[in-house]
Amino acid sequence: MRIMRFSSLFTSFLAVFILSSLEKPSRNSYGLTPSDASWVTWEKRAFDHSLKKLQKRESFYKKILETQIAKQISRYKTGLEKDHINKLSQLIVHESKKYSFDPLLVTAVIITESSFNNWARSNRGALGLMQIRPATGKELATEVSVQWQGIPSLYDPEVNITLGAYYLSKLFLRFGDLGLALEAYNHGPSRLKGYLKKGYRPKHYSQKVFRNYSSLMSNFYWQNWYEHPSPSI
């Protein structure tokens, strides 16, 4: 938001100076006095510097997030080859950011669903890391333009997490509440809607996810943050 505000302010000032050039063509070719042009140059440099600082901090934060998630994954038996395991944390961060989710939240969902067992299968037929049913997976794949190859697609970590993160976002937009979105993810949106009509709001699954999320947050902010101090910018 700060970038947007600063950029809008700079753009507004620049627009004023350009309009000034149309009204007073007798000045230089851009209608700006030397002092005005100098001020605009300074503003642009200040903006560029601030943007670079924010980008550097974002890159740093992303890196330590990936490291933290990788540590969590290493605690589980994933059943995956090493090259797939190494990409998992990057994939989780990437897909989470698409929908403005905290990657640690998506990590908590995966831990709750499958304990990072890529070959997990529920008694209801849900498959893979984020436990998606084939019928749901096929529908989601069409919506996000992911190639669908049946059940094997859900055992592909990239496809599974791509569909799972999208599905959670879709449910959040539908129910407008993260707790309800998580319950819909677990029970199915139609069943949850039926529960709500009867005045019953299930909480067991969402509370389990939130407990896992809280644990991940605690490890990240109170342990790893101090092990990796913020870069001097």
Q: CB atoms < 10 A from the CB of 93, how many?
A: 21
43 is catalytic: no
HEC secondary structure over the chain:
CHHHHHHHHHHHHHHHHHHHHHHCCCCCCCCCCHHHHHHHHHHHHHHHHHHHHHHHHHHHHHHHHHHHHHHHHCCCCCCCCHHHHHHHHHHHHHHHHHCCCCHHHHHHHHHHHHCCCCCCECCCCCECCCCECHHHHHHHHHHCCCCCCCHHHHCCHHHHHHHHHHHHHHHHHHHCCHHHHHHHHHHCHHHHHHHHHCCCCCCHHHHHHHHHHHHHHHHHHHHHHHHCCCCCC
Choose the catalytic residue: 81, 113, 183, 227.
Answer: 113
User: CB neighbours (10 Å) of residue 78?
Assistant: 20
Of 141, 131, 135, 67, whose CA–CA distance to 104 is shortest?
Answer: 67
What is the length of the chain? 233
> 């037929």: which residue's tokens?
125
Which residues are tagged catalytic?
A: 113
